[in-house]
Amino acid sequence: MYNILDSKEVETLKEKEPQRFQYLAEGGNYLNIKGLELAPIEEIDISKIQDLAKIVRGLAFAAIDGVKSGHPGGSSSKVEQLLTLLFSGVLAFDPLEPKHPGRDRIVWSAGHCTPLHHSILALIHECLEKRGNKIDKDLLGYSTPMCLARFRHCDGPSGHVESRYALADVSTGSSGHGFSMALGLAILQKSNGLDGKVFVIAGDAETEEGMSYEARNSIISMGASNIIVSLDYNHFGIDGPIEEIISSPYINHWFSMGWNVIEVDGHNPLELAYAYKKAREGFGNSRATVVICHTIKGKDYGKTAGTADSHGAPAPHGEYVEIMKKLGFEIPGVENEVAKDIEVVISKLDDEMVSYVAQRLETAKDNLQDEKKLVKKLEKALAGRPLADYKSIKRPDVLPPELIFKEGESVPIRKATEAFFKWLMGQTAFFYIGSGDLAKSILTSAAENVYGLINKDNPLGRGFRFGIAEQNMAGLSTALTQDTLPGGWQAMSVFSTYGVFTSIMSNPVRMALINNAVNLKSKGFFIMMAAHDGAETGEDGPTHHGLFWMALFDAYPGIKVYKPLDANETIEMLFYALQKGEPIALSVMRPGTPVFKRVEQTNMGFAVPPAREAVNGAYVFKPFREDGTSTSLSTSKKKIVLAICGGQVMTNVLAILPDLEQKLDVKIVAVTSPELYEELMQKDPAKAKSILSDEERQYVVTLHNGWSGFMNRFIMPVDYPKRTIEIDKFLKSGPPAEVYQLAKFDSESLKEKILKAL
């Protein structure tokens, strides 16, 4: 018997059973070749790569000096990594067809390193042009050396990486996001029976980002062994040493998560070549590999080399001139005339270097897999599945019975999405879905289970087990929609969490929308489900009430918020989203919502239009009683237009409609997407005005069980906020009926508010 609170007994136990005080780290495979004597590799001409590295640094430094902006630190420390990756024979890439479907993908998680990215492209352009190749820089997204003089100008190369360029397959810039995007691209390859690799260019400070943890974890659990990370381990972020933030051994953050780890000198082309070749070959354990490259931040960048100050601080012009001269470039150094400096740098590119670059790029081109063979490989892997993507799926003239919900019944909207996505999984081989540890609540499991969850044992699955990792979920799910498979197919995705938590996903969604905007050729379609919207998640309290989430996504360009009133509207709006191919944020309710009786005369004395009208963003749910021809003030009731968003809100208003109509002539406009209605006003103003005319706007009162600004498109500016009825404060825990009463959104409270708003 031991008393381990007694220090003497602890020492005795250590001597007797030392294994109780030892822990052997478990992970992937580990290999350290830093400083190892290695046999030469014929294709790796170290001398030429070192000379080319000086040219690339010279181009990058000149570009930065020209605009007095940019990121010299990380760009300079990664130069040998990029050159070796290009020249080692590891990468599949054709510089004359940079978006070939058989290429390896590259993700610049360190998306700020555009001085390096564009300088590499300028080098490629110059070498191939000198070899007689005709290159359309605009078509191919290349940067010529002279383009670098306009770096970070609106008419020049971008300040952060954009996917329209060669050697970049997603648009990046937010730290840590690249790992999730790479996972999306890697899963797209593996889950379609393909073996393309995804190379990630990353910085060490990104490991601090919580989103990168989520991605590094999922990369292993989902079996994305086709990811290779080239990690620039220079020890510095912007503010200082990363050790101020990451106090545990850095390698633990990769190895303990199950990654294969290779350590090298990041400025040694031979070590890098060996590492990349081994990473591509793998260790036989079906795990992703990180190559940890020990480097000097801001290498050769003067006084700030080896410090955090080199990260994003351009050197003063005088120091820049000295830096360039130490690299061997006798530049004129006239401030604001950087084009002349670039000419000097390029003049150092001799015929032997040009021939070497061209020959190594030819090898990279030879690594490309033929698209027709890739299509056959994909078809074999997905045998029995419909090889059609979302763009070919149309709404059937007669809906399948599982997508029709009985009028008059109370059906949660999440039941409609459950049925629709399960049906959709049977229509296309290129549909992916998952939830943030909420599949049983949001009801995504039915679709996920059609082909099963993606993992190392089921690589051809279509469901995701994300865990509590909303950022990674959004980054992964959006990225896989923004690539094109051999054969021209594009995937779509659905990812979901509670509406109140969608703000956590907002930045990855924003990055995806930027990618859609800057690269229309890779525009992706995805659905972000904002589940348990409104105050209906009552018992959970304000932490789970989805009241204000749509403010972010209503503001973002390139995505629209859909908020159908009932299950049948949900089905129609989902078909419409497929047809448009524009990303949406879909509001999904947890409790049962009445499926409205339509077309036929209801007991309210008016006909509700078909559910398909929801795709206009708004429709006349109930017209005015009076036709407007009466001129007698004594006989005409005062008009009011209730613009209502939310199925439960509509239900509560209908309960008091008879009382309202004793005093008012009430028109009800059902609002399903203010943004879609705004689009209708532009495309078909006559149709839009038939729903709500300019003259009628003076009568509008908006009702929304959440953020009032969502409905601003329906009111006149002078009427805000006196004619808006919304929930504008955090509520309390309680059953939904109690919470609605607390929010004064129950029927009687709404009646009082409506009458007061006039």
3-class SS of residue 250: coil
Q: Length of the chain in residues, anyone?
A: 758
- In angstroms, the first-to-last Cα distance of the chain is 81
Q: pLDDT category, 176, cuts 50, 70, 90?
A: confident
Specify which of 19-33, 125-139, 380-394 reaches the highest per-range mean pLDDT. Answer: 380-394
CA-based angle 739:744:748, to the nearest 5?
Answer: 115
CA 524 to chain CA centroid, Å, is 10
The stretch 147-164 carries a mean pLDDT of: 94
pLDDT per residue as tens digits for the range 108-123: 999 999 999 999 999 9
How far is it, in rounded angstroms, from Cα 166 to Cα 118?
A: 9
How far is it, in rounded angstroms, from Cα 406 to Cα 506?
A: 35
109-120: b (≥16 Cβ within 10 Å) or e: bbbbbbbbbbbb
Q: pLDDT category, 139, cuts 50, 70, 90?
A: low
3-class SS of residue 354: helix
CA proximity to 644, closest of 590, 724, 526, 575 = 724
Record: fold of 390-592: Rossmann fold (3.40.50)
pLDDT of 600 reads 67
Q: Is the pLDDT of residue 223 over 50?
A: yes
Structure tokens that stand for 550 in this block: 């749509």
pLDDT of 599 reads 76
Q: pLDDT category, 718, cuts 50, 70, 90?
A: confident
pLDDT per residue as tens digits for the range 287-342: 999 999 999 999 999 999 999 899 989 999 999 999 999 999 999 999 999 999 99
The stretch 256-276 carries a mean pLDDT of: 97
Structure tokens that stand for 157 in this block: 């190369």
pLDDT of 601 reads 58
pLDDT of 22 reads 87
Strands (E) across 21-158 are located at 30-32, 105-108
pLDDT of 634 reads 44
Range with the lowest mean pLDDT among 221-235, 456-470, 563-577, 615-629?
Answer: 615-629
Record: fold of 614-757: Rossmann fold (3.40.50)
Q: pLDDT category, 9, cuts 50, 70, 90?
A: confident
Q: pLDDT category, 636, cuts 50, 70, 90?
A: confident
Domains 390-592 and 614-757 share a fold: yes
How far is it, in rounded angstroms, from Cα 584 to Cα 676?
A: 11
Taking every pair of Cα atoms in the chain, the longest distance, rounded to a whole number of angstroms, is 103
492-517: b (≥16 Cβ within 10 Å) or e: bbbbbbbbbbbebbbbbbbbbbbbbe
Q: pLDDT category, 6, cuts 50, 70, 90?
A: confident
Q: What is the percent of the chain where pLDDT is above 90?
A: 87
Kindly report the number of other CB atoms within 10 A of residue 239's CB atom. 11
pLDDT per residue as tens digits for the range 349-378: 999 999 999 999 999 999 999 999 999 999
- Residue 174 contacts residue 205 (beta carbons within 8 Å): no
> Could you tell me the CA-to-CA distances from 408 to 361, 405, 595 in Å, in that order?
66, 9, 5
pLDDT of 629 reads 46
Beta-bridged to residue 492, according to DSSP, are 431, 525
Please state, rounded to an integer, the average pLDDT across all residues of the chain: 94
pLDDT per residue as tens digits for the range 654-682: 999 999 999 999 999 999 999 999 999 99
Q: pLDDT category, 631, cuts 50, 70, 90?
A: very low
pLDDT per residue as tens digits for the range 45-76: 999 999 999 999 999 999 999 999 999 999 99
Record: fold of 46-372: Rossmann fold (3.40.50)
Q: Map out the domains of the chain as residue ranges.
A: 46-372, 390-592, 614-757
Q: Is the pLDDT of residue 386 over 80?
A: yes
